[in-house]
Structure 1
Amino acid sequence: MAGMSLDVQRDLIATAHALAEAAREATLLHFRKAGLSADSKEAARFDPVTVADRLAEERMRAILAERRPADGILGEEYGAKAGTTGLTWVLDPIDGTRGYLSGTPTWGVLISVADAGGPIYGLIDQPFIRERFEGGFGTARVVGPSGEFPLACRAARPLAEAILLSTFPEVGTAAEHAAFRRVADSVRLVRYGMDCYGYALLAAGQVDLVIEAGLQAYDVQAPIAVIEAAGGVVTNWQGGPCHQGGQVLAAANAAIHAEALALLNG
């Protein structure tokens, strides 16, 4: 947001970290605990939601009601609340609920702040591993058990040497899957199932590409902020903005983004 003061930036950062701490506590109350069950949001396929998803978002919303009551909110579990400041908090209390239910540590909490142009600051937090990836307002870093390190996406290398991540092997529609396979068949290594942690690994310089489809705004806005702060590129499959969700091509640098984009478009 143009003209935002340093005091406002500091308040947004402090608020985001307060949200992440609250969501850590809420999600870890139930993670790997006996008896955890899930409802499905859809009848046709298993789209799980747990008590932990709802509790984490409730606690984050309560903090925002106290600290930033005039801001808007868009959350996965409780929808949208209009604001008057031009800023919207975009919250995914558990990105990767299937992984959460399975006991894997690759789910995460996504928190971002957006203006009319898209996300301007974001956190990808992994409560169990205790890693927090941060990007925006001149910051790109990860803090975790091994210490604090700057985030920097990997330098350009040929697509044939690249590592590609995606959450589901069956990416999108049949046409989208065929486009994805053109890229997947051209890289050195493809891995699946990372959810938001894949985007964190891209920002940390571990992988070259993340390609997905069918996403929502709350799935992608925090990753966009973190990856762009680390020097990466995030667009839709046509090279345009993707902060409202849909198709996402996240790349470590402009060169490999261009190679992948060309293959996605045939």
Structure 2
Amino acid sequence: MNQGPTCPPACLALAHAMADAAAQVIRPHFRTRIAIHAKADASPVTMADRDAEAVMRRMIEAQFPDHGIRGEEFGTCRIDAEWVWVLDPIDGTKSFVSGSLAFGTQIALLHCGKPVLGMINQPITGERWVGAEGVATLGREPIRTSERTALDQAILYTSALEQFDRPRHDRFSALAASVRFTRLSHDCYAAGLLALGGIDLLVESDVFDYDILPQMPIVQAAGGIVTDWEGRLLKDAPSYATVLMAANGELHRAALDVLCRA
């Protein structure tokens, strides 16, 4: 397995504690008539999103006051720090408010801008994906991506078609026409399924760092590849125009070929 930069044990322990704390905040609101508010970009947000991020931020400040934080709901602080936490309290808020299980809490730790820890926690089912030290796990069990390499046998997921502009929608449609079947609206849960080997390709457009950075260490440690639609590595940035995650190199090359030709 590929060995990346070291994630300090105390940071991994904090990530687990934060996931537990966020879950305690989120669970009582699941499948209730929770109020839904609109953010500036018209995306939905709830009290559960905000309260879950707030509790995680307090835990970071208490244990590592010199670390930076980049969160979906409450913005950034100390983002030039050596260590920076990236928090997405509920990735898949639309699923959460609909009563669907296709959502999760996402946590990443960056060292000098590079993700060294990724975590996806499903607060209701208790499923927890972790990527650190070159190892990906679901619960306590190591996981690996799919070995399928034929594009026409691949399973493709994406989170939201409305995130694609017309040219990208056409390119995605070409890829969707080349695979076995396509599913929508699973957000971070899809990245977990990719790392687990259940699906083979995950394609996104117009997403943010807190959407993707927690997923990268998990997918990569499980054997997958993460780039943009041109095959370039993703850099530490506030947002990403395109993201392609593939189970293996052969499938990644095949998907790139379709996306670049369309």
With the length of structure 1 as denominator, give the TM-score of the two structures.
Answer: 0.92
CA contact (8 A) 1:233 1:251 kept: yes
1:62-101 pair list within 5 angstroms: 62-82=58-78, 85-101=81-97
CA contact (8 A) 1:70 1:83 kept: no
Measured in 2, the distance between the counterparts of 1:83 and 1:158 equals 41
Match of 1:132 in 2: 128
Instruction: Give the gaps of 5 or more residues in structure 1.
Output: none
Match among 104, 107, 118 for residue 108 of structure 1: 104
Match among 35, 38, 51 for residue 36 of structure 2: 38
Q: Kindly provide the CA deviation profile for residues 228-249 of structure 1, in whole angstroms up to 9, marking residues without a partner as x.
A: 1111001111111225333110
Q: Secondary structure at the match of 1:238?
A: coil
Summarize the Cα distance change of 1:3–1:256 in structure 2 as closer, same or farther, 3 Å threshold.
closer
Q: Which moved more, 1:218-227 or 1:167-176?
A: 167-176
CA contact (8 A) 1:9 1:137 kept: no
Report how far residue 155 of structure 1 moved.
Answer: 1.1
Larger relative contact order (C-alpha < 8 A, sep ≥ 6)? Answer: 2
Instruction: Give the gaps of 5 or more residues in structure 2.
Output: none
Measured in 1, the distance between the counterparts of 2:80 and 2:172 equals 40
Match of 1:16 in 2: 15
Match of 1:217 in 2: 209
Match among 21, 42, 45 for residue 49 of structure 1: 45
Report how far residue 172 of structure 1 moved.
Answer: 1.1
The structure 1 segments of at least 4 consecutive aligned residues displaced by more than 2 Å after TM superposition are: 2-5, 115-118, 241-246
Match of 1:180 in 2: 172
Report how far residue 171 of structure 1 moved.
Answer: 4.5
Summarize the Cα distance change of 1:222–1:214 in structure 2 as closer, same or farther, 3 Å threshold.
same
CA contact (8 A) 1:105 1:128 kept: yes
Q: Kindly provide the CA deviation profile for residues 24-48 of structure 1, in whole angstroms up to 9, marking residues without a partner as x.
A: 1111121112x311111137xx410
Report how far residue 263 of structure 1 moved.
Answer: 1.1
RMSD: 1.8
Q: What is the count of residue pairs matched by the alignment?
A: 256
